[in-house]
Structure 1
Amino acid sequence: MTQQTETKPTERNINKPAYAVFLLAGIYFLFQRDFSQVVTFWGLALMFDPFNTETPFKKRPFYQQAWLIVHLSVTLAAIVLMLLGK
């Protein structure tokens, strides 16, 4: 008699690789001085939270909060640079 066990499909979290790809693309466009693309890619990178998405923001460790706030600040600075046309 053989016993059958069902395997559950594993869920793949693509947040970290997607965050890294969008962040690197934004860095590339930053060196190209194309701030509209920087804003686009870094804004999209924030959508892919690289940390535990089930943890509320206020309960996260300080370094995670600081990283995301700095990321958002740089993105907002790129928006200002884009609007100023520099």
Structure 2
Amino acid sequence: MFVVFAAYQFFGQHAYEEAASSLGIGLVFDPFNTDQPWNERPLWQKIWLFVHLAIVALLFGYGVGIADK
């Protein structure tokens, strides 16, 4: 739900910092099995979590750097 809300904030409201924070909150609520240790997770889950984190960082950097006028 936080990913959908972040997309609305990004595309609908052009609120980049708020979209980054919503995606960050969405990352806290790991959608995968939290009882499974990191080393035992499939590669695609690890990649998705790192991509999600990279998008949060890019949105935050964009909101603070370029879109801050």
Q: Normalising TM by the smaller chain, what interval?
A: 0.7 to 0.9
- For the pair 1:36 / 2:17, whether they are aligned, the reply is yes
RMSD: 1.0
Structure showing the higher helix proportion among its residues: 2
The residue type equivalent to 2:19 in the other structure is V
- Opposite residue 38 of structure 2, the aligned amino acid is F
Q: Is the counterpart of residue 72 in structure 1 residue 37 in structure 2?
A: no
**Structure of higher RCO (CA pairs closer than 8 Å, 6+ residues apart):** 2
Answering whether residue 27 of structure 2 is matched by residue 46 of structure 1, we say yes
Q: % of aligned pairs identical?
A: 32
Runs of 4 or more above 3 Å deviation = none
Whole-angstrom CA distance in 2 between matches of 1:58 and 1:69: 14
User: Which AA in structure 2 matches 1:73?
Assistant: A
TM-score (norm 2): 0.88
- For 2:20, give the aligned amino acid: V
- Equivalent-residue separation in structure 2 for 1:38 and 1:57 (angstroms): 27
Give the distance between the partners of 1:82 and 1:56, measured in 2 at CA.
34
Number of aligned residue pairs: 66
Q: Give the greater-gyration-radius structure (CA).
A: 1
Distance across 2 between alignment mates of 1:56 and 1:80: 30
Q: Helix, strand or coil: the match of 1:63?
A: helix
